[in-house]
Structures are given as structure tokens and as C-alpha cells.
Amino acid sequence: MTITTKQVGETGTLEYRLYFVQDGKAVSPFHDVQIWADKTQGIANMLVEIPRGTNAKMEISTKDFMNPIKQDVKDGKLRFVHDKYPFNYGALPQTWENPSHVDTNTNAKGDNDPLDACEIGSQQGTSGQFKQVKVLGVWAMIDAGETDWKILCIDVTDPLASQINTIEDVEKVMPGKINEVYTFLRDYKIPDGKGPNQFAFDGKLLDKDFAIKIIDETNKDWKLLVSGEATSPISIDSTLKEGVKTHVCGKEAAEKLKL
């Protein structure tokens, strides 16, 4: 993928933003990148927000023009998670968990964000990097009363990727990995004085087919979002020309942002 990044502001400051550029034009990592690299093989595009082994809470700024990555802020201070992430954490583009829709699986509304993804390969990613990943499974996490699906996946270039196509393969090839990821997702807020996160399906990791079903459903909701049929304070400015309410010229967007 030929998308590059342009940093604005110093790392570790409130002003930090990481914008995305393709052929001299600004693009949105949320809206302008296709979700599927090869759907027949279950291979999706994933944006790395938080590299494995780090704990700064980096995320797509869904409300900012062209959706740069920034560090989350709480009580006016940059947010850090207590423990370092044991996997590359990020988002799947062109998906959206609709806050107006009660999911029948969780009995909770969506969290107004793209789908989260946990990539378990051995290589540490970089914030702003796009990886092509094999979709393996999904957890139905409920965070503060909101549906917050977590997709389990592995980078297609990982040395073990050829051996892993299902959650059963993960257990066999990477014993203990699924429990490590689940435990982190369940417990990462405890050091901040909060209880463990809750999960539907008794915390069971659901299989690849179910995960693809969730991706497809949230992709449909994303289409409603960018077309203007669903409402949200999210920025839906996009360089796409079809099916979107707010088309922007990527070159003009880059000039506006001084990229």
C-alpha cells in the first residue's frame, strides 16, 4: 500500500497528529482505505494504532478532519495504559459500530468507532502502518455498556501465518496466545481503578466465519454513516466519490492541512 504518514506536532504532546497521504493527497485511514484486501481468503487491511510493546493510547481521531491518529486525552492529560500491549492493536477501515443500533448478540449499542483489531504476529508494527491480516476470530467485548468487538488476526507476512487459519490453529501453533490476548483485554483497566471488562458469550472467542459476519455488518453501518443516512458527530469527509455525503479533494485537503 502506497499510503505514507506525515506527522504534525511533537510526539508526546497534545498537538501531535499523524496524517495520511497518498500521491500527494490527504486521505482518511478510516474512510478511504478498503476493508478487504482479499475477502475470499479472509484477508483484511488493518491500521496499527498502538504497536506491540507500547502503552500510549493512540487512536484514529474520528472527529478530526481526515481522521489523523492522535493520543487519547483524559482529564486534560495524555492517556497511557498501565501495561504494555502484548499485540499490535488497531482498527479496520470502513467499519463502524453504530451507537444507535442495539446489537442482538450483546444487547448493547455500538461504541461509535471502527472495529478494533488485535494482531498477534511476532513483528512490532508502527503507528500509522497498514498491515494485511488474516481474520481469525472475534470477542464480543462490552466496554462501559457499549458493544466493542475485538477482531483477532495475524499479519500475512508473519513467519507463522501460513500455519494459522483458524482459532484452533492459533491454540496449536501459539499455545497460550489466545488467553494472553483475552486476559489483557479483560483486565487492562483494572490498574486504573476500574473493574474487568465484560464479554458476551461468556468470553468465548468466536470463529472466523462469525468474525467476517461482524465485519460485514459494521461495513454496512459504515456505508450508512458516510452516506449521511446515519448521524454521528464523526467526520465523514472522504476522497471517495460514490456513496458518500462529503467528498473532498485530497490535494486540497493536503494543502489545507499543510502536509
Q: How many domains does the chain have?
A: 1
State the Cα–Cα distance between residues 167 and 205, nearest whole angstrom. Answer: 8
For residues 21 and 105, is the Cβ–Cβ distance under 8 A? no
Query: Residue 137 falls within a domain, yes or no?
Result: yes
pLDDT attached to residue 148: 97
Three cell numbers written together for 174: 501459539
Query: Residue 222 falls within a domain, yes or no?
Result: yes
The DSSP annotation for 34-68 comes to -SEEEGGGTEEEEEEEE-TT--B-EEE-TTSTT--
- Closest by CA position to 131, among listed 46, 189, 51: 46
Query: Residue 241 falls within a domain, yes or no?
Result: no
Is pLDDT of 49 > 90? Answer: yes
Q: Is 140 left (phi over 0), alpha (psi -120 to 50) or beta?
A: beta
Categorize the per-residue pLDDT at 258 as very low, low, confident or very high, splitting at 50, 70 and 90: very high
Angle at 77 between CA 115 and CA 118, to 5 degrees: 25
Query: Residue 197 falls within a domain, yes or no?
Result: yes
pLDDT attached to residue 1: 60
Query: Residue 86 falls within a domain, yes or no?
Result: yes
Residue type, 84: K
Give kind and range of the element (H or E) at residue 117: strand 115-119
Read off the pLDDT of residues 216-227 as tens digits, 9 standing for 90 and up: 999 999 999 999
Query: Residue 13 falls within a domain, yes or no?
Result: no
Is pLDDT of 229 > 80? Answer: yes
Give kind and range of the element (H or E) at residue 168: helix 167-173
Residue 60: CATH number of its domain:
3.90.80.10
For residues 71 and 57, is the Cβ–Cβ distance under 8 A? yes
Query: Residue 8 falls within a domain, yes or no?
Result: no
Query: Residue 160 falls within a domain, yes or no?
Result: yes
Categorize the per-residue pLDDT at 240 as very low, low, confident or very high, splitting at 50, 70 and 90: very high
Domain that holds residue 105: 34-234
Categorize the per-residue pLDDT at 56 as very low, low, confident or very high, splitting at 50, 70 and 90: very high
**pTM of structure:** 0.96
pLDDT attached to residue 80: 96
